[in-house]
């Protein structure tokens, strides 16, 4: 295992972290007595395998149902100084309630403190306000830090990069020490957030590069062929870890064997050319199939969804369409597309169902397209992904 200093925290962080969302028994909180012994044994084997690989960072969340309670019964077998424990708690309008939830998570985990506490999901301006306003949840987290309940305070974010940047640049109450963020081969929109975090010496943890990075645990044949001698998942690992701002990436293990391919990829970590060569192959196919090197090539040439007729998120739709068309990531794109229109920060705005009803001529011209090209592409995208 390789280790990197996790920004200003000074923690020696393994480049692979054990993310525990996939290994929990239930999305609902359950008393420990209600968790089947077989399921608890499965998690125990995952944790043992992580330690055997040199993975010493375990990341869970209050929102992960039974995860905290399950983890408590396993990590208690190990010396507390052997591992880095992180949990995440959603922000609240009332910081007193936030503190109560953190304290409850500590009780579930059966620990006096966590190394890393994340404010879970600064995804929009409301959650940013909940967290960063004077006397808000960040201030509450710092009060817990002073009491020895929390060593370092960070946040996770799944929304717009401008929200991420606002949180990263926030200075009141000490700002944030680290962040959990999405950035990987297929999604590089958050590069500015990585750069801003590096300037503030923040730790950077990449969320779910395998599943959210294209469902690469079950990759399409075209990406398997392009990624040789690696798998698409291994290539994506290297692509993330060779980014200088990145300290660690999550491995969402549901069974011990899930670590193997990720650990094997680390033997290529010092090869500065391999990932670049593979990425050029990916780009070549995207260019041949979609006429662009990157799936998000037109994103910055179209207005934000809030400024688009019908609140259609054209940038997001074209990105998903190109992923499906260029790299055969159809299931991934359909899964994301079908969640549009329900006010989710991950996939904001509306889909293209009503694209033909609006005059998109000006938007098309600015994107270097004709009105007919843009409208037709959006209609095709809806037919393919909807």
Tell me whether residue 283 is in a domain: no
| pLDDT for res 126 | 97
pLDDT band at 30 (very low <50, low <70, confident <90, very high): confident
pLDDT at 69 over 90: yes
C-beta atoms surrounding 273 within 10 Å: 8
Which pair of tokens denotes residue 352?
A: 């293209």
| Percent of the chain predicted with pLDDT > 90 | 94
Q: Do 322 and 213 sit in the same domain of this protein?
A: no
Averaged confidence pLDDT in the chain: 97
Is the same domain home to 342 and 212? no
Q: Is residue 203 part of a domain?
A: yes
Render pLDDT for 274-294 as a digit per residue (tens, 0 to 9).
999 999 999 999 999 999 999
Q: Do residues 334 and 227 both lie within one domain?
A: no
Which CATH number goes with the domain that contains 181?
A: 3.20.20.100
Q: Distance between alpha carbon 353 and the CA centroid of its chain, in Å?
A: 28
Residue 166 forms part of a structural domain: yes
Contact yes or no for 319/351 (Cβ under 8 A)? no
Average pLDDT over residues 173-185: 99
179 belongs to a structural domain = yes
Same domain? For 302 and 240 the reply is: no
Give the model's pLDDT for residue 32. 86
Its pTM stands at 0.96
- How many domains is the chain built from? 2
Residue 282 lies in a domain: no
Same domain for 118 and 253, yes or no, is yes
Domain coverage including residue 335? 295-385
Mean pLDDT of the 93-98 span: 98
Is the pLDDT assigned to residue 25 strictly greater than 90? Answer: no
Which alpha helices (DSSP H) does the chain contain, by range? Answer: 37-53, 67-75, 95-109, 125-132, 137-146, 161-169, 191-199, 221-226, 232-241, 260-265, 274-290, 314-327, 330-337, 361-366, 371-385
- Average pLDDT (161-172) is 98
Q: Which of 33-47, 49-63, 229-243 has the lowest mean pLDDT?
A: 33-47
What is d(CA 91, CA 107) in angstroms, rounded to the nearest whole number? Answer: 18
Residue 249 has pLDDT above 90, yes or no: yes
The mean pLDDT value for 16-26 works out to: 92
- Read off the pLDDT band of 246 (50, 70, 90): very high
pLDDT digits (tens, 9 = 90+) for 310-325: 999 999 999 999 999 9
Give the residue with greater pLDDT, 379 vs 33. 379
- For residues 323 and 294, what is the distance between their CA atoms, to the nearest angstrom? 9
pLDDT at res. 84: 99
pLDDT computed for residue 23 by the predictor: 87
Q: Is 259 in the same domain as 125? A: yes
Same domain, 258 and 299: no
**Is the domain of 182 the same as that of 143?**
yes
Asked whether residue 280 is domain-assigned, the answer is: no
d(CA 329, CA 221): 10
pLDDT at 343 over 90: no
* Model confidence pLDDT, tens digit, residues 346-366: 899 999 999 999 999 999 999
Same domain, 266 and 310: no
Do the domain assignments include residue 25? yes
Residue 224 and residue 331 in one domain: no
Q: Are residues 363 and 240 in the same domain?
A: no
Residue 41 resides in a domain: yes
| Same domain as 325, residue 231 | no
Q: What is the pLDDT of residue 33?
A: 87
Mean pLDDT of 145-167: 98
Residue 149 confidence class, pLDDT cut points 50, 70, 90: very high
Please give the residue that has the higher pLDDT: either 215 or 28.
Answer: 215
Tokens of 161: 């990069």
Q: Residue 163: what pLDDT?
A: 97
């Amino acid at each position: 295992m390789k280790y990197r200093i996790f920004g200003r925290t000074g923690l020696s962080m393994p480049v692979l972290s054990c993310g525990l969302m996939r290994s929990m028994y239930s999305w609902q909180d359950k008393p420990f007595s209600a968790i089947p012994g077989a399921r608890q044994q499965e998690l125990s084997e995952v944790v043992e395998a992580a330690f055997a690989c040199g993975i010493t960072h375990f990341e869970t969340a209050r929102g992960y149902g039974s995860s905290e309670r399950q983890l408590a019964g396993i990590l208690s077998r190990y010396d507390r100084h052997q591992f880095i424990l992180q949990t995440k708690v959603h922000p609240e309008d009332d910081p007193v309630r936030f503190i109560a939830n953190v304290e409850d998570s500590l009780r579930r985990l059966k620990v006096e403190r966590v190394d890393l506490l994340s404010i879970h999901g600064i995804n929009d301006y409301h959650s940013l306000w909940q967290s960063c306003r004077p006397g808000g949840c960040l201030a509450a987290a710092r009060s817990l830090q002073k009491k020895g309940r929390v060593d370092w305070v960070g946040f996770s974010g799944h929304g717009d990069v401008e929200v991420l940047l606002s949180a990263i640049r926030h200075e009141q109450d000490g700002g944030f020490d680290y962040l959990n963020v999405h950035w990987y081969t297929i999604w590089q929109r958050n590069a500015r957030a990585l750069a801003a975090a590096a300037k503030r010496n923040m730790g950077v943890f990449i969320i779910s590069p395998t599943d959210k990075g294209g469902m690469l645990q079950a990759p399409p044949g075209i990406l398997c062929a392009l990624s040789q001698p690696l798998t698409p998942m291994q290539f994506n690992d290297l692509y993330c870890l060779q980014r200088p701002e990145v300290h660690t990436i999550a491995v969402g293990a549901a069974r011990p064997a899930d670590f193997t391919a990720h650990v094997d990829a680390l033997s290529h970590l010092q090869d500065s050319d391999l990932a670049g060569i593979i990425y050029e192959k990916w780009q070549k196919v995207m260019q041949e199939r979609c006429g662009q090197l990157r799936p998000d090539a037109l994103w910055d040439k179209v207005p934000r969804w809030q400024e688009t007729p019908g609140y259609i998120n054209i940038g997001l739709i074209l990105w998903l369409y190109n992923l499906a068309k260029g790299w055969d990531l159809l299931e991934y794109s359909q899964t994301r597309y079908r969640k549009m229109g329900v006010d989710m920060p991950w996939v904001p705005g509306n889909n293209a169902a009503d694209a033909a009803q609006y005059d998109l001529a000006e938007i098309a011209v600015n994107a270097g397209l004709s009105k007919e090209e843009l409208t037709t592409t959006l209609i095709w995208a809806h037919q393919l992904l909807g």
